[in-house]
Structure 1
Amino acid sequence: MISISPYTSSPDRRVMSDSLNVATPTSVSPDNGKMEAPISTSHNGIATVSILARQLSDAATRAETPMGQKNAESLEPMTDDKYFANKAQHDGEIPTTDDPELLARAQQATGFLNGHDSNPFKGLARDQLNLIAHDSGGVFTVNERRAALEAMQSMESPEAFDPKPTPVNGREIMILRLFRGSEPPVALPPATSENGTQRSSEFLTLDDRALISDMYAYAQSEGADLRYVDRLVSALGTYRHYSDGRQLIGSNGYYVDEYWTTFDFKPEDAIIASNILTGSAFSSTRIDQGFLQHILSPGNGAFSHIGGIPFLEQMVKRFSSEAVGQPPLGSEFATFEYAKTADHIVSTTHKDIKLPPSKVVVEVVNGVWSVTEYGKAAGYTLDSATRRVYKPIEPPADQVQQRSPLNIPAGEAPNNTLLDALADTREQPTTRWIWPGHLFKLMKNFKP
């Protein structure tokens, strides 16, 4: 119940500046039933009417008029696609008042619908929630009315949570958070240059989306920060986008300061990862087993799912055949905190494995091109005008042909073909022959 300082807003939603002590009234619901109005108590012990009580009373009065608001049409902005089509507008709506309590309540209702705050109308009677949800007179924001409607719906479904059916609003939360209010068809892998910028969430399968809807609903019912689910979904979407991880090359090692360095989960997370993969819930969990093996490998998950293993363990158990009897989510998931690499990853430097010498020929430093020491030693040069790299090419020794000097007597010359002889004479840069005498001399000396 919300207790706000005395006196109420008028129907035009402007709050009166002075407090007024009055007897506590009751408001009549549209069902002609009685309900107790929320009250607040002043410092002198006199009961006073809260702002919410006056708002409820005004809403009840409007509901009793011929143009009353208790009808299906009054709920239309909150129950069909129009709500999500105008979600940004609803989230930005604020009461036209300077009263901090009213402003805070509207903000809390928006936070609740977005998964990171509690319902400001939790604890009110069903008749009171009904009045707020149906009142379209402008006293309550659309998000306040929707929050009241959800509180009323939760009273209609008191049964314990079952991980298989999709809870009320779970799918709506998923569509809002992942797809901005409009769910697209399932995109098909593999990842290509054409779909590289496409949102990974669009590659989630229909089974994935049903499970994620349940996760959001469960996390919200437990008071957990929905960003924990967001992070898990992000990793799963990437896994789907890249052909169930087949396009991702996992590696938990890199060269750091010239030495090979490996990375792993911190000891606590490594134990949890092992327990997930070897535990009895693994075989029956609704979470894709291939994805679990992928993300719980340090080469794939140490950085991409940093700090998210404890929440993943809770989801694996909750959405398995072992869900019954599982304890509720702990308070550690109430507020999402971005993980720090140093707090969740263990690095090991291997001094016996050093980075091989670089074989880069040219480097660019501050826009200046130059040949590296390795390049210079290998004989490379750089044309500063064209930035092309050259290296003198010496003919291999085994390709240098040994030719007879021109003054060798004809009888001592090796047996060659006519074409060889012609080729031999053409390659003599210092000899000039006069045709056709040259050809006659070759024919005379030629011996097959």
Structure 2
Amino acid sequence: MSELPVVVIGAGPLGLAAAAHLLERGFIPLVLEAGSNPAAAVEQWEHVRTFSPWPELVDPAAAKLLELTGWVAQESGFPTGREWIDGYLAPLAKAMGTGVRLGARVQAVSRLGRDRLVSPGRAETPFVVHVTNADGTECRVRARAVIDASGTWGQPNPAGADGVTAIGERTAAGSGVLTYVPPTIAQASGLAGKHVVVVGSGHSAMTAVIQLGEVVRKDPSMTVTWVLRRGVSEDTFGGGAADELPQRGALGVRSKEAVDAGRVSLSTGFRTERIDLVDGRAVLTAEDGRALAPADHVVVLTGFRPDLSFLSEMRIELDPILQAPVNLAGSIDPNMHSCGSVLPHGAEELAHPEPDLYIVGMKSYGRAPTFLAMTGYEQVRSIAAELAGDHEAARRVELALPDTGVCNGAGLFDSPDDENAGGGCCGPAPTSQPVSLQPVSLLLNPLGG
């Protein structure tokens, strides 16, 4: 199989970085991207500014490759998604030439002539990647190894509190009243005079609420409701000044300022059960019967989940809770890991019973939040080394990760007043502050770095 390529699924930041490391190790990478452009997922949030600075968003092997073309690295600043594409990702894809195939959607990954049940000779048999091209034609690509860097962007978590779409959610999304993407500045401004509901508690939700809050500052005719499934605790607004990624910490600080300023109403303990369309507006109703005022626009930013459908013939071993590799899950589980710290990890933690198949990037975290680009760059460096037989380099740690500065325990869920509810493994449970429809307002900044 030495003459076959290593197929990389996805031409996003991690897929392109994986290809750069494979080239450095003497492999032939073939990157298959479903979109019409490289980093097609990043394009969908191109207006959002990252909370990681430029030096942490550029992979070292990719930088070496780009420097051969005369490319010059940005030394500072926090790029938007668009700036990340134009200043790094698009030039990197161009430098790889025919090694990146656009409009190539992977439908399945299998072993040549063997389904999931067949074991004899499996590890010595090439992978077969089944692809549908943009023109509708189908093809099969043989590969010596497969790295799935397809991400999770196309698989948003629903508004429904139990992990399943709320009653009426699909209808609301189909009508355009409900979306799963942060609004652009222009879109936010266009909602002046309207009632907008934001569902979610992470950095993307904070970004959206901050933008909308700024519109309220200029035009109080807009009303914004921020829906949280849990009560307010010490870590609701992130690590603040204790966060070693200052821009990420600033999101929480400005979020809290927005709450206190009254530009946004905060509705806590609200677990959405149904979304009804009434005269073209969406009415969200919680499991406890509470209903919000009709909304002209609903933005659901509750995180993402991996699409594992095209790996159904692969022997993968995932944690039953997070849907992340079992050897990685313990250190990224938001229900238990301490202070946001995640140990650098690579091929060993990401290995599956299917030899030479790896899931990397945000998808490797399953349903866990807060993935950093530099974590992924360490993943693909290690995997390229492992595929090359350099086991020592694969296990060597070449990364120091910043701390969030806060505990990320399960927190306040069913008992917001219970001192023993949730908390992390690095300290006692946070102090609860039950709130209902209080004023709030936020700040603008990241989505992944």
Class of the TM-score when normalised by the shorter of the 2 chains = under 0.3
Report which structure shows greater RCO (CA 8 Å, sep ≥6): 2
- Structure whose residues are more often helix by fraction: 1
Could you state the TM-score of these two structures normalised by the residue count of structure 1?
Answer: 0.25
Larger Rg: 1
Could you state the TM-score of these two structures normalised by the residue count of structure 2?
Answer: 0.25
